[in-house]
Amino acid sequence: MATAAYVYDLDGTGEHEIHLPGLGSAGGFGGLRDNTSVFYTFTSFNYPPTIFQYDIASRESTEFRRAEVPGFNADDYEVEQVFVPSKDGTRVPMFLTYRKGLEQAGVMDMLRFHTWTIGWNWIADYGSSDDPDEFEALYAQSPVHNVKPGTRYPAVLITTADHDDRHNLGVPVG
């Protein structure tokens, strides 16, 4: 989930939102009653870790220090948060990070998905490569199996959690 930061008065009444640089994670807010500013960190998939100073009176954040990443231009990338429904209807947040101007497409090994943990439950939606008739259809639409030699594809970083059973960490993605 992307962080949202809000200021509350001492009785718990919400005052305003602190505007962050984009979708990402922020933390470290804190201070004493008489402080006029607080520091916090912000980072995202296209935004290096940065420390900001937030002025309480003006409600303005200013960059205090940013990690430099040589050769990386964050403005070349987009970050988008989308939600996908799980089997039980729970909305699961997912972030898409891509170079601006690139066409977006999902990646899935359509011939082996059913062998990974919960993937067997998707057979009703996608079919099974164990069935010869369905194999042909799955092979024809499997992005992993239709890579064209000599074609330049963008770099892809796919991450998951160690308890996310929708992808087995021991199985290579591509």
pLDDT at 102: 65
Q: Which of 29, 28, 47, 145 is nearest to 95 (CA)?
A: 47
- Residue position matching structure tokens 């231009």: 73
Q: Give residue-wise pLDDT tens across range 8-61.
A: 988 999 999 999 999 999 999 988 889 999 999 999 999 999 999 999 999 999
**Is residue 59 domain-shared with residue 92, that is, in the same domain?**
no
- The domain in which residue 49 lies consists of 5-66
Q: Whole-angstrom Cα distance, residue 54 to residue 63?
A: 9
pLDDT at 152: 86
Q: Give residue-wise pLDDT tens across range 129-147.
A: 889 988 888 888 777 788 8
**Is residue 87 domain-shared with residue 132, that is, in the same domain?**
yes
Instruction: Find residue 117's DSSP bridge partners.
Output: none
Strand residue runs (E) in the chain: 5-8, 14-18, 25-27, 37-44, 47-55, 60-66, 77-85, 91-99
**Is residue 86 domain-shared with residue 27, that is, in the same domain?**
no
157 occurs within a structural domain: no
pLDDT at 117: 61
79 occurs within a structural domain: yes
24 occurs within a structural domain: yes
Tokens of 151: 């074609």
Q: Environment class of residue 44 by beta-carbon count within 10 Å: exposed (0-12), middle (13-18) or buried (19+)?
A: buried
pLDDT at 174: 47
pLDDT at 162: 56
172 occurs within a structural domain: no
pLDDT at 163: 57
Q: How many CB atoms lie within 10 A of CB 21?
A: 15
Q: Which of 40, 71, 42, 44 is nearest to 53 (CA)?
A: 40
Q: Give residue-wise pLDDT tens across range 61-107.
A: 999 999 998 988 888 888 888 888 888 888 888 888 888 876 555 44
Q: Give residue-wise pLDDT tens across range 8-18.
A: 988 999 999 99
**Is residue 36 domain-shared with residue 82, that is, in the same domain?**
no
Specify the higher pLDDT residue, 168 or 7.
Answer: 7
86 occurs within a structural domain: yes
Q: Give residue-wise pLDDT tens across range 146-159.
A: 888 898 887 776 66
Instruction: Find residue 44's DSSP bridge partners.
Output: 47
Q: For the chain, what is the domain count? A: 2
82 occurs within a structural domain: yes
